Amino acid sequence: MSEKSKIEVLLSEKSKEVNEAMLTYLKKQATKDYMKQILGNTTYDYDEKAFEKGVLDPLWYLLDLGGKRWRPTLMLLFIEALGKNSKDYIEFATITEIIHNATLVHDDIEDNSLTRRGSPAVHVKYGMDIATNLGDFMMFFPTHMLFSSKKLSEAVKSKATTSYLSNMVRVTIGQATDISWHAGLIKPEEITENKYLEMSNNKTGVLSRFAGELAGILCEADENTVKSLGNFGAALGVGFQIQDDILNIDASNVAESKGGVGDDISEGKITLLVIRTISQASKEDKENLLKILSKHTKDKQKINEAIAIINKYDSIKYCKKIAEGIISKAIADLDSLLKESEAKQLIKDFAEFMITRNK
């Protein structure tokens, strides 16, 4: 069995565990007892049916569409590498997945995306008002999980909440940067490779950073270990994003499931591929590529034209090397941090899988 297959099997197994754990905290049906569990005793009278229709139904519609669940899987591997039993912390691993899906709801609204994982986006199926509120609920709900837990000491809760708040600020700034770029508020020529990597570090890397930090905090590791695990997680997020950008302009399962090949072109995304291309392209190719991006076109011919320009300057190969360098450094840093174990090796295999996957 190849390393890639091993990680795919691991993701499948952990995904089932994470889904079961989410059902413990996010019910599919609302009852008065469940609402009391979340909100405490009612002052007047809860409308559990409205909560079910307005939150739980669209929430589980989205979660049931699938997803890799790679962030909670990474967090569980970190916990095992720190010498703890990951099953004792499974409910906390769901936090990153819940927040991740919250960002997807908001992303689809902000990008005006019609589909998610091959099905209608939440705001398309349930309406903008339901979707916006759902995204907010899924952002805030994890703090309830932390504060209501009787497993955690007050010191651990405090550190976990500080990490959560810090990373939530990061993700909104990363998203604001990405939006500003594809909305044309910043000239593409002003967007450097390092600015892209920092945007990705904050937008995509933030939840895997949080997964690393939270694993260290829950295991009561020292401050340096917590920070280092967070940095490793963030690096994985950046590598994952670069690979996602590459797969988006290829006839791949990822592209098709997320709306189609070249969906990023339609949205006018300034990816690392685009940044590399405009830095190398002729004046004519550069102007043509930027013009297509600015139009937010759905025209397949124009999208293919933009992809052809990107491929003309060998940008995919260049970006793959960047991702490989980021992951190689992260793995080297991990070697000096964690003791040798099966979990540590799986983390290293996991990191390499992030930038070699084809879906």
Tell whether the model's pLDDT for residue 255 goes beyond 70: no
CATH number at residue 172: 1.10.600.10
Query: How far is CA 280 from its chain centroid?
Result: 30
- Confirm if 261 and 250 have CB atoms less than 8 A apart: yes
- For the stretch 174-183, pLDDT in tens is 999 999 998 9
Question: Per the domain annotation, does 316 fall within a domain?
Answer: yes
| Six token digits for residue 226 | 């917590």
| Six token digits for residue 13 | 């197994």
The pLDDT of residue 145: 85
Question: Per the domain annotation, does 129 fall within a domain?
Answer: yes
Q: What is the DSSP string of 92-114?
A: HHHHHHHHHHHHHHHHHHHTT--
Question: Per the domain annotation, does 212 fall within a domain?
Answer: yes
120 beta partners: 115
Question: Per the domain annotation, does 324 fall within a domain?
Answer: yes
Question: Per the domain annotation, does 147 fall within a domain?
Answer: yes
Question: Per the domain annotation, does 118 fall within a domain?
Answer: yes
The pLDDT of residue 251: 63
Question: Per the domain annotation, does 95 fall within a domain?
Answer: yes
Whether the full predicted model's pTM is greater than 0.85, yes or no, is: yes
Question: Per the domain annotation, does 359 fall within a domain?
Answer: no
- For the stretch 46-81, pLDDT in tens is 999 999 999 999 999 999 999 999 999 999 999 999
- Confirm if 272 and 196 have CB atoms less than 8 A apart: yes
3-state SS string over 170-236? HHHHHHHHHHHHHCCCCCHHHCCHHHHHHHHHHHCHHHHHHHHHHHHHHCCCCHHHHHHHHHHHHHH
Residue 240 belongs to domain spanning: 3-354
Count of structural domains within the chain: 1
